[in-house]
Amino acid sequence: MSLASSAMKQSLVSIARRASWRFYSSPSSSPSNNKLFVGGLSWSVDEKTLTDAFSSYGDVTEVRILYDKETGRSRGFGFVNFSKGDDARSAKDAMDGKAFLGRPLRISFALEKVRGTPVVVPRLSNVGEAANRNK
């Protein structure tokens, strides 16, 4: 491993440990999980709009959109909690990939992050990246 890649890896681990949010997304599904990660949100979406969009799938107990601390603008993702795991699964199955306020949603189950441990989120390869690697 080169010195540059080692330094980059250490920086990424350091950044991950400093993550202030408590949850991250997981592509795997968990039937007992009531919390969904919702990515790809329009900058204009608010908690009420998101609640209205998801409440047709079950009892929404909490909606949280994350905002940039400096600008106050939405970071483009948030979380939706349901009272039942089955309702969360129905919402995920129905809404994942669907256009919402002009942008496709990316929905997965949220997993609790233990504070101080690195966040490891599986990276989905981009078709363009895969093509460049095979050259």
In a domain, 37, yes or no: yes
Domain count, the chain: 1
In a domain, 93, yes or no: yes
In a domain, 131, yes or no: no
The CATH number assigned to the domain holding 53 equals: 3.30.70.330
In a domain, 77, yes or no: yes
The residue among 90, 109, 121 whose CA lies nearest residue 33 is 109
Task: Flag residues of the chain having pLDDT under 50.
Answer: 12-31, 125, 127, 129-131
pTM of the model: 0.63
In a domain, 9, yes or no: no
pLDDT at 29: 46
Cβ 85 vs Cβ 59: under 8 Å? no
Q: Give the structural domain span for 78.
A: 23-113
Type of residue numbered 61: T
In a domain, 120, yes or no: no
In a domain, 89, yes or no: yes
Cβ 59 vs Cβ 45: under 8 Å? no
CA distance 98 to 118: 31
Q: Give the tens place of pLDDT for each residue, 100-131.
A: 999 999 999 997 766 665 555 555 545 454 44
In a domain, 88, yes or no: yes
CA distance 60 to 52: 9
